[in-house]
């Protein structure tokens, strides 16, 4: 086993750990042909995840590191509370980042100042069970349809990382899932994949303009965490380095530079800096458009004071002018390099 190699990294993780007191048949890309032979793994995994079948896996367990907090040390939100836009304006700054989501006519915003401390919100929107997820270490904001072979699941934070990205687990089988792509890593659902739903990281005011009747997530208990504070201060600085990532770095671009990955176009990523310079980037029916006015959640000590990283809209534009939002992720260059073999970053 190579698990001891993570020991030094776990100590480093403790610093951050202390800061934390439409419908789709999901998972049916049955990649069970990719299962690996049974591997050795720490006995603590069985104690923390007694339902999980770790004899089934698709990854080398040596890639799994402790992020510091144990299972549910970063608590997922299971009973989300929402308020109207008018009430939310007293709490959130106009340029604060939120994950904007609309499903079947229902619209909700999930502010990053809340998700930074919880990373997963289990919810139902427009009749669809979803997990709204945010991994600060990768700046990955992704929404999943949680139906696995038709059955809704709910998710928690495992306390483990792979390539700096959160490993989630489902509470029904305790299978492990990669947050970056929704891949089942270990357990009964190893080799399956969660379906993603289109969403946007956008400013609070842009969400309000799009959805005047939208609802906004607020903390269940204001005293539970220091909501609004960024425990990852300056993490996305130009000279920043990834946390608990020991793989190769991308060439010709800083590892913490933001890039855009669009579902169906994963063989290349688009440097956000290039899109912001151009304003609009078109490739066939794909259109990426940038506008100013959104705080970084990973810069200043207060999220509402983070530097402007702008708003991005990613759409498919048909010949007749019809537009449809596409699933995408605005993550860091090192993340794309770590997870996408042979991919190219256009800049």
What is the layout of strands, in order, in the sheet containing 184-186?
64-66, 155-162, 165-170, 176-178, 184-186
Distance between the two ends of the chain, CA-based, in angstroms? 40
Count Cβ atoms below 10 Å from residue 62 Cβ, excluding itself. 15
Which of residues 200, 216, 237 is at a domain's end?
A: 200
Please check the confidence at residue 100 and state whether its pLDDT lies above 80: yes
CA distance 269 to 309: 17
Q: Burial code of 162-197, b = ≥16 C-beta within 10 A, e = fewer?
A: bbbbbbbbbebbbbbbbbbbbbbbbbbbbbbbbbbb
Could you give the CA distance from residue 347 to residue 336 in angstroms, rounded to a whole number? 14
pLDDT mean across residues, the chain = 92
Residue 225 lies in a domain: no
Q: Is residue 226 part of a domain?
A: no
Out of 200, 228, 249, a domain closes at 200
* Bridge partners, residue 176, by sequence: 169, 186
Domain count, the chain: 2
Beta-carbon contacts of residue 244 (< 8 Å; ≥ 6 apart) = 9, 12, 13, 65, 67, 137, 161, 164
Domain limit, last residue, from 200, 223, 242: 200
Look at residue 5 in the predicted model and tell me its pLDDT: 35
Same domain, 195 and 283: no
179 and 278 assigned to the same domain: no
Report in angstroms the alpha-carbon separations of 299 from 99, 235, 304.
18, 6, 10
**Tens digits of per-residue pLDDT, 318-340?**
999 999 999 999 999 999 999 99
Lowest mean pLDDT: which of 8-17, 151-160, 182-191?
8-17
What is the pLDDT, as a whole number, of residue 220? 96
Residue 91 lies in a domain: yes
In Å, how far from its chain's centre is CA 180? 6
pLDDT at 49 over 70: yes
Shared-domain flag, residues 193 and 275: no
Q: Is residue 10 part of a domain?
A: yes
* Res. 32: pLDDT tops 80: no
| Residue 60 shares a structural domain with residue 146 | yes
Give the pLDDT confidence of 18-31 residue by residue, as tens digits: 444 433 334 334 44
Q: Are residues 98 and 10 in the same domain?
A: yes
Mean per-residue pLDDT for 92-97? 98
Beta bridge partners of 195: 145
For the cut 80, the answer to whether the pLDDT of residue 128 exceeds it is yes
Looking at the domain assignment, is residue 242 inside a domain?
Answer: no
pLDDT at 231 exceeding the cut of 90: yes
Supply the Cα-derived Rg of the chain in whole angstroms: 19
Q: Tell me: do 68 and 155 sit in the same domain.
A: yes
Token pair for 344: 């190219």
Asked whether residue 69 falls in the same domain as residue 182, the answer is yes
Encode pLDDT of 207-226 as tens digits: 999 999 999 999 999 999 99
| Structural domain includes residue 219 | no
Average pLDDT in the 302-316 region?
A: 98
Q: Domain range holding 293?
A: 258-346
CB 16 within 8 A of CB 10: no
Query: Same structural domain for residues 189 and 292?
Result: no
**DSSP H helices in 30-154:** 43-48, 85-88, 112-118
Q: Model confidence at 34, in pLDDT bands (50, 70, 90)?
A: confident
Cα dist from 210 to 85, 99, 203, 213, whole Å: 12, 13, 11, 9
Which pTM was predicted? Answer: 0.91
Q: Following DSSP, what letter does each residue of 157-182 receive, concatenated?
A: EEEEEETTEEEEEETTT--EEETTT-
């Amino acid at each position: 086993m190579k698990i001891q190699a993570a020991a030094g990294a776990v100590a480093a993780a403790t610093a951050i750990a202390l800061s934390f007191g439409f419908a789709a048949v999901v998972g049916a890309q049955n990649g069970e042909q990719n299962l690996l032979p049974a591997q050795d793994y720490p006995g603590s995994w069985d104690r923390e995840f007694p339902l999980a079948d770790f004899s089934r896996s698709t990854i080398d367990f040596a890639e799994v590191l402790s992020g510091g907090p144990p299972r549910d040390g970063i608590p997922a939100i299971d009973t989300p509370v929402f308020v109207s836009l008018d009430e939310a304006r007293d709490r959130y700054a106009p340029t604060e980042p939120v994950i904007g989501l609309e499903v079947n006519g229902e619209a909700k915003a999930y502010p990053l100042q809340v998700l930074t401390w919880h990373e997963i919100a289990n919810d139902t929107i427009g009749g669809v069970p979803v997990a709204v997820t945010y991994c600060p270490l990768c700046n990955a904001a992704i929404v999943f349809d949680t139906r696995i072979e038709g059955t809704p699941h709910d998710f928690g934070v495992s306390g483990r990382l792979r390539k700096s990205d959160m490993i989630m687990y489902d509470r029904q089988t305790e299978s492990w899932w990669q947050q970056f792509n929704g891949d089942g890593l270990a357990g009964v659902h190893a080799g399956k994949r969660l379906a993603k739903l289109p969403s946007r990281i956008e400013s609070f005011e842009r969400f309000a303009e799009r959805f005047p009747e939208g609802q906004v997530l607020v903390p269940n208990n204001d005293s539970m965490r220091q909501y609004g504070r960024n425990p990852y201060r300056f993490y996305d600085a130009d000279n920043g380095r990834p946390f608990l990532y020991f793989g190769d770095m991308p060439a010709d671009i800083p590892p913490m530079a933001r890039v855009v990955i669009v579902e169906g176009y994963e063989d290349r990523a688009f440097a956000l800096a290039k899109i912001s310079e151009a304003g609009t980037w078109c490739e066939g029916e794909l259109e990426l458009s940038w506008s100013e006015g959104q705080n970084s959640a990973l810069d200043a000590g207060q999220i509402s004071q983070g530097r402007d990283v702008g708003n991005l809209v990613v759409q498919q534009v048909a010949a007749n002018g019809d537009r449809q939002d596409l699933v995408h992720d605005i993550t860091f260059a090192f993340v794309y390099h770590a997870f996408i073999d042979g991919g190219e970053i256009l800049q």
